[in-house]
Structure 1
């Protein structure tokens, strides 16, 4: 028989089981996000594409040293590892990332349990981290933030160990963890000397400790960071002949924060990126930033104010001001954009964010040991200051809000005891702490409150009435209400979008086109408005108008497979009898294709598995091209044909049994083949076969 567990072991066992359950739920929540955020396997423009390119270069034995700037290597190395294990497919890499960041909630539990000596606080901290929508959402997008937050939590936990023990080993590990965070996002690099100073002044040490006991831990922290970062810095010097500690993005980001106009941006970029050396680019950007600050310090300080507001603004503010880019009026994800979720998730994320901030501020103010809370305060203040002088975006606040999660957990854990103490009468120290807490709350609310919400709320009353009238089938009342909402909130692009959808439902294509044009003028990046402009042009037979709308989508890098994924289910156009993948008039009838590439004037490369939708009747034919010897499988209407590419253009006809004609059910053709790297620099996509055209007819 198994001996019964010792009573002292039972709480630990219950804690372990509860923590395992929370971790499993965290992974499940992130897998849910992955299931609808990552199915297209698309690489978004900007940071995601740069990380992806760097990962491919690592697989090839190098690094991406020919871009606009040098990126830190750890996140690309993680992607490269995922690619090596599961093939170069973004979907599976993001699956691994979702699982890893779900397990990362253990770091939040460890920090809270250690700092507050409470298993309950540790469990609450892990539960908050597990359910926090932004943290879960970033687990399945090509950004480094979710991994970075976990590393920062580990670094702060080890830093607390260095402070409480005064030991050099903990300090060495803390320096190494901070260095790993810096190799993920370089902002952590500048925190290393701050952390060393914190250890120097706050660490516990024996009375009458000598210089070795005082200086040993901070020097060990710096040594730990140097041992981790040093090899990367040496590699950068050998490659670029300049001292580049981690990356060259920071100085250029700082300059972007001083740009005054579109013309100013273009002129500055021309000067910076004309330099061949990446370190020289950053040095020039820093000089330009300092000069701009000296020229007009008042303007710089005014921008700092706006950047702080941008850093802390609510996610749902995008709906209030109408700058929604990637979410449709029906809360569909048009294309993946980190930090922009459908309206219900955005509202939930904002509620969680506000509660974490309020609870975190309270937890910091009432923390049992101020010197152990100081590293978190220092990191938060450091991050805010850095955003204020560079660029600010609510994506960048995730590592700041994340470190407040354990303190929010402490507040929730201690709240019953605090309420009991309040009934007995608070002491002077408690009143002082409460005053600081209230000041922190007021400062936070001053950053997130905006009069735009008042304008939005006034207009939304009419918009809600319009949606209710639309549900009743009263189109005239719906139009009147939507017009009233537009008049009350004329700067919000969502107002003309509602009128455009209504006009389209009525069959008034010219009016719908006018409304969507107004919406895209208010928000030039609105994928929904631009897609509808293109589809309306196609329905009117205006190929040039459709191409113009598609060109605008492509101009900011959104002509990718996640957009095609949404368009496949959303298109109002009929399946054509002839299509060229990538053409504006074919949008919505091809799926699983790479962006436009240098080698194809017309047509697109598949991403391994792709689909086409053809209308009409008769034989279906595809014009294919690809590497000689590559096998391709075509499937349609339950039939399959396999062929081997010759290396030249070749027309392929589908089996005769696949030619059944049903006007209500277009023919869907699937194309499947192995993939290979197209071109590392000019088109770094793993592609299968080029589909130059497809047609159906006699």
Structure 2
């Protein structure tokens, strides 16, 4: 009788268990998300109007007309001021469900955000495996299943939901590629990572980091490491290069993803209330009055911000201090997309998972250190971009699920370490022979 025969039923039962647990966390999160999406009746605000303005002509097969020149219809969108990913998602929904069908976008986002809960569970399982991985994944997924501040965005025409799903899908695919040593899966993971950056370029540092991550992979032969590293670089390039080429076709300048980085950097200074020399920073109206085109205007905003920081380095602590405060603040009534919006209070979950994630660095640091490095790098990249460019409170929403995974490991990893120590202490001492 084969000893391997019972393994298949056990494997099948574990897969059924995983599917059942994924169903549990998704059911826990689906109802409130659908309720929020279907009950929201506010008109589009601020950046929502911008995404809608980009999505409508693309869905109709029409071009767009920025200040410089008319841009013909393009499969990646005839707009270069914002990353194209989310506007293309909204435009696709408009094509399928009707132009400016905001309800359909919200309904789709409710289902996408719910499926993200399943991805959180899978990340925990892939990181640590077995019952420990299931405990970590289930705890993290349930923690964010009813996270009010995260659920709010299923009703908004903002990129949080789609961007979060792409980030989580990238992590899942990368961990699967590592576990199974599949170069094709690495290529797919990198391609998804590229589209995450085309939706919001906050994981841009993960692109080169993914190459380095594969070169550090333990227990993978060097030849295989290089194949995975090359696949990682190619996958990201396959996603981003067509958009860069589109930008060159439209503007004849090398623009990696979008042009709005200048204004984003400028806002990080303009939002500081107590600059030492505010008169030295041109106002937004001053730069608008120059009548520059899209690309040149962004360059003017960037130059104004960099010139001010060079002349007044004493204000840098204030600039970065404001960003840190925004990323840490856990109260309602934040500015989102430059407009004050009433948001749910967030008094405990975000600080808890943030501190838990920091604590996880010291909980059995050698266990799954390489897979955990990928998760930590994905989180760190988003914080770094916020600190370098600009910070809004909504930028922390996509990091909360990954923080929750690491925080859950801090708890369950400590419990598992205690259980192992207790078991080894209770074991009888080996007999001395001789």
- What's the TM-score once normalised by structure 1's chain length? 0.52
Superposition deviation, residue 70 in structure 1: 0.9
- What SS does structure 1 have at the residue aligned with 2:204? helix
What is the alpha-carbon distance in structure 2 between the residues aligned to residue 315 and residue 232 of structure 1? 37
Preserved CA contact (<8 Å) 2:280 2:308: no
Preserved CA contact (<8 Å) 2:166 2:195: yes
Preserved CA contact (<8 Å) 1:166 1:203: no
Pairing 1:498-647 to 2, within 5 Å after superposition: none
* Farther off after superposition, 255-264 or 303-312: 255-264
Pairing 1:386-405 to 2, within 5 Å after superposition: 386-405=385-404
What is the alpha-carbon distance in structure 2 between the residues aligned to residue 113 and residue 258 of structure 1? 42
Instruction: Determine which of 149, 172, 185 is the counterpart of 1:170.
Output: 185
State whether structure 2 residue 83 is matched by structure 1 residue 72: yes
- What SS does structure 1 have at the residue aligned with 2:220? coil
Greater percentage in helix: 2
Structure 1 residues 169 and 18, CA, compared in 2 at 3 Å: closer, same or farther?
same
State whether structure 2 residue 96 is matched by structure 1 residue 81: no
Preserved CA contact (<8 Å) 1:164 1:204: no
Superposition deviation, residue 141 in structure 1: 1.0
Structure 1 residues 417 and 187, CA, compared in 2 at 3 Å: closer, same or farther?
closer
Q: For residue 246 of structure 2, what is the aligned residue in structure 1?
A: 235
Structure 1 residues 400 and 100, CA, compared in 2 at 3 Å: closer, same or farther?
closer
Preserved CA contact (<8 Å) 1:160 1:372: yes
What is the alpha-carbon distance in structure 1 between the residues aligned to residue 260 and residue 299 of structure 2? 11
Structure 1 residues 8 and 307, CA, compared in 2 at 3 Å: closer, same or farther?
closer
Instruction: Determine which of 204, 214, 239 is the counterpart of 1:189.
Output: 204
Pairing 1:37-48 to 2, within 5 Å after superposition: 38-40=40-42, 42-45=43-46, 47-48=47-48
Structure 2 unaligned regions, length at least 5: 1-7, 68-78, 426-434
Preserved CA contact (<8 Å) 1:243 1:279: no
Preserved CA contact (<8 Å) 1:107 1:154: yes
Structure 1 unaligned regions, length at least 5: 319-323, 327-335, 427-698
Instruction: Determine which of 220, 228, 234 is the counterpart of 1:223.
Output: 234
Q: For residue 310 of structure 1, what is the aligned residue in structure 2?
A: 326
What is the alpha-carbon distance in structure 2 between the residues aligned to residue 422 and residue 7 of structure 1? 28
What is the alpha-carbon distance in structure 2 between the residues aligned to residue 236 and residue 279 of structure 1? 11
Q: For residue 298 of structure 1, what is the aligned residue in structure 2?
A: 314
What is the alpha-carbon distance in structure 1 between the residues aligned to residue 106 and residue 236 of structure 2? 28
Preserved CA contact (<8 Å) 2:217 2:225: no
Preserved CA contact (<8 Å) 1:163 1:203: no
Q: Could you give the per-residue CA deviations for residues 626-681 of structure 1, whole angstroms, max 9, x where no partner exists?
A: xxxxxxxxxxxxxxxxxxxxxxxxxxxxxxxxxxxxxxxxxxxxxxxxxxxxxxxx
Preserved CA contact (<8 Å) 1:30 1:136: yes
State whether structure 2 residue 58 is matched by structure 1 residue 55: no
What is the alpha-carbon distance in structure 2 between the residues aligned to residue 152 and residue 225 of structure 1? 13
- What SS does structure 1 have at the residue aligned with 2:232? helix
Superposition deviation, residue 48 in structure 1: 1.0
State whether structure 2 residue 300 is matched by structure 1 residue 284: yes
Pairing 1:310-389 to 2, within 5 Å after superposition: 310-316=326-332, 318=333, 340-341=342-343, 345-346=344-345, 349-366=346-363, 367=365, 368-389=367-388
Structure 1 residues 205 and 6, CA, compared in 2 at 3 Å: closer, same or farther?
closer
Superposition deviation, residue 393 in structure 1: 2.0
Structure 1 residues 253 and 180, CA, compared in 2 at 3 Å: closer, same or farther?
same
Greater percentage in strand: 1
Superposition deviation, residue 165 in structure 1: 5.6
Q: Could you give the per-residue CA deviations for residues 153-175 of structure 1, whole angstroms, max 9, x where no partner exists?
A: 12223333455566532331221
What is the alpha-carbon distance in structure 2 between the residues aligned to residue 127 and residue 108 of structure 1? 9
What is the alpha-carbon distance in structure 1 between the residues aligned to residue 285 and residue 226 of structure 2? 44
What is the alpha-carbon distance in structure 2 between the residues aligned to residue 204 and residue 249 of structure 1? 42
Q: Which has the larger radius of gyration?
A: 1
Q: For residue 23 of structure 1, what is the aligned residue in structure 2?
A: 26
Aligned Cα RMSD in Å?
A: 3.2
Instruction: Determine which of 14, 18, 35 is the counterpart of 1:32.
Output: 35
Preserved CA contact (<8 Å) 1:156 1:174: yes
Structure 1 residues 58 and 325, CA, compared in 2 at 3 Å: closer, same or farther?
closer
Highest relative contact order (Cα 8 Å, sep 6+), 1 or 2? 2
Preserved CA contact (<8 Å) 2:187 2:232: yes
Structure 1 residues 205 and 17, CA, compared in 2 at 3 Å: closer, same or farther?
closer
Q: Could you give the per-residue CA deviations for residues 537-590 of structure 1, whole angstroms, max 9, x where no partner exists?
A: xxxxxxxxxxxxxxxxxxxxxxxxxxxxxxxxxxxxxxxxxxxxxxxxxxxxxx
What is the alpha-carbon distance in structure 2 between the residues aligned to residue 25 and residue 54 of structure 1? 34
What is the alpha-carbon distance in structure 2 between the residues aligned to residue 176 and residue 100 of structure 1? 19
Q: For residue 257 of structure 1, what is the aligned residue in structure 2?
A: 268
Q: For residue 91 of structure 1, what is the aligned residue in structure 2?
A: 103
* Farther off after superposition, 255-264 or 195-204: 255-264
What is the alpha-carbon distance in structure 1 between the residues aligned to residue 111 and residue 190 of structure 2? 26
